[in-house]
Amino acid sequence: MKARAISRGLGEGELLVSPVPLSFLSGVDPDTGTVIEKGHPLEGVTISGKVLAFPYGKGSTVGSYVLYALSRNGHAPRAIINTEAEPIIAVGAIIGGIPMVDRTAMPLSEMKSGMRVVVDGTAGTVEYDS
């Protein structure tokens, strides 16, 4: 499916979908890749090695650096899919070398965790097993 390319590269893996926004500053542990935001639907779940789909980011601009730290620590998502990218997540994906797209042809609400997906952040596409 078509999407808008945000951060170059190719990322493949199991899809992990959050129906709500995610903050990387104090919402994700940069040393483990575990979501630590209290009350978040993904609290206690690791994003490490997953293709992470969520509506958009929230919180401080330091969230960009947390994404970068996740990448340096080997705990970043393999790719990011957003409904609508905003600067904090886009910058973090770019500096962290994490492929990223937004504005996918399929709404986030129709994406299911566990699907196998390939995100091409250069071409702006997402392939998935239905």
**Catalytic residue list:** 60
How far is the C-alpha of 17 from the C-alpha of 15, rounded, in Å? Answer: 6
The residues near 41 (Cβ < 8 Å, ≥ 6 apart) are 18, 19, 20
CA distances from 117 to 4, 53, 113 (A): 16, 11, 10
SS (H, E, C) 65-93: HHHHHHHHCCCCCCEEEECCCCHHHHHHH
Residue type, 51: V
